[in-house]
Amino acid sequence: MNAKERFIRALERKIPDRLPVTTHHVMPSFLDKYMDRISYQDFFDFFGLDPILWIAAHKPSNSKESFHHSGKDASDYLAPPLLCSDNWKYTIKKIPDPHYHTLRYVIKTPAKTLAITLQSSPQTSWVSERLIKDKKDIEIFEKYAPFPVCDVKTINEKAREFGDRGLVRGTIPGFDVYGQPGCWQDAAVLFGIEELIMETFNDPEWVHTFLHILKQRKKKFVQSMEGAKFDLIEHGGGDASSTVISPKIFDEFVAPYDSELIKEAHKKGQRMVYHTCGGMMPLLERIADMEPDAAETFTPQAMGGDADLREAKKRIGHRLCMIGGFDQFHYLEGCTPEETRKEVRRCFEEAGEGGGFILSPSDHFFDAELDLIKAYADEARNCIY
């Protein structure tokens, strides 16, 4: 099989020729530090991994909107450009900081000026000032914030160029400056996860209103994906893991909104993977009940998650494809190649039976030893069905 066929067989919960093996997002900082800034696809070739092409191609939904000229590329999967209109105008201010690159995004609307601040290290970025500071701000957000649609033509051109090389993967976009695919997860970015959890007790009606606003925006994007040649679309995010929220909060504030987007994506011919970095075991059936085609990341206990691959396979492996499960903290650094190979075999033995499993680190990695990545990929290629 070629890599695309191998991935698709696994996503369909069928048996491929061997275990598909890949990684979750190749981080630019890793390529810069360890691999002389080679391309994403050269990374896959170097290690013999099954390739993924991550694409984000957005366009304005109408002629009154345009992208802010901030140097961002509309095809940048991790940082799509800022969408503006006459009623939603960005000014970007660099804030002096001795440790981190800090940008404050000031947004002028007819009703009020909003702002969000993003800080970055060479490895990653995070929000240090939330956009939604007053609960009434969601009314301004709903009324004025533009939202992109999918540029199907560009997606299909890139997918055609990629051919059968591997998996073409996209995402439901979050808020432009910094966001997450899932409704609850995007709300946590914009308002703060601790504050959002507290409001589920203090003002649940407001939380539902906020989530509905985000869902409607995301739904428009999902509807615009019809005809796009994606193989898999990412949904969800870590703020809905069981190491962050309770199953009760998941039932009331996560599943009703995210499941609707999954159903809409299926109507438009798209497969969905639900991303839960963190605890998953108390939520397994709840995730499967939303009917995604796959779930990730099955973070091991040694990394702060709770995944038991054998138990997860038994409980939901017949309902969806499982992606992830590999402990990149302890087996891509600081061990022997033999120990890495043993961990690959453990994952295969616990989750590989009957197909429907794609081996991947349970999330990004920023540091790793090259010989251990080679051992990881080589051993997985030898996991034959």
pLDDT in tens, 64-113: 888 886 545 545 555 668 999 999 999 999 999 999 999 999 999 999 99
Amino acid occupying residue 205 = E
Supply the pTM of this predicted model. 0.95
Contacts 24+ apart (CB under 8 A), 156-160: 156/227, 156/228, 156/229, 158/53, 158/55, 158/57, 158/75, 159/53, 159/55, 159/228, 159/229, 159/230, 160/229
> What mean pLDDT is predicted for residues 334-345?
98
The per-residue pLDDT of the chain, averaged, comes to 95
**Is the per-residue pLDDT at 133 higher than 80?**
yes
- The answer to whether 152 touches 167, Cβ cutoff 8 Å, is no
Topology at the third CATH level for domain 3-84+130-381: TIM Barrel (3.20.20)
pLDDT for 71 equals 47
Q: What is the DSSP letter of 182?
A: S
- 289 three-state secondary structure: helix
CA angle 327, 358, 269 (to 5 degrees): 135
| Beta-carbon count within 10 A of 314 CB | 14
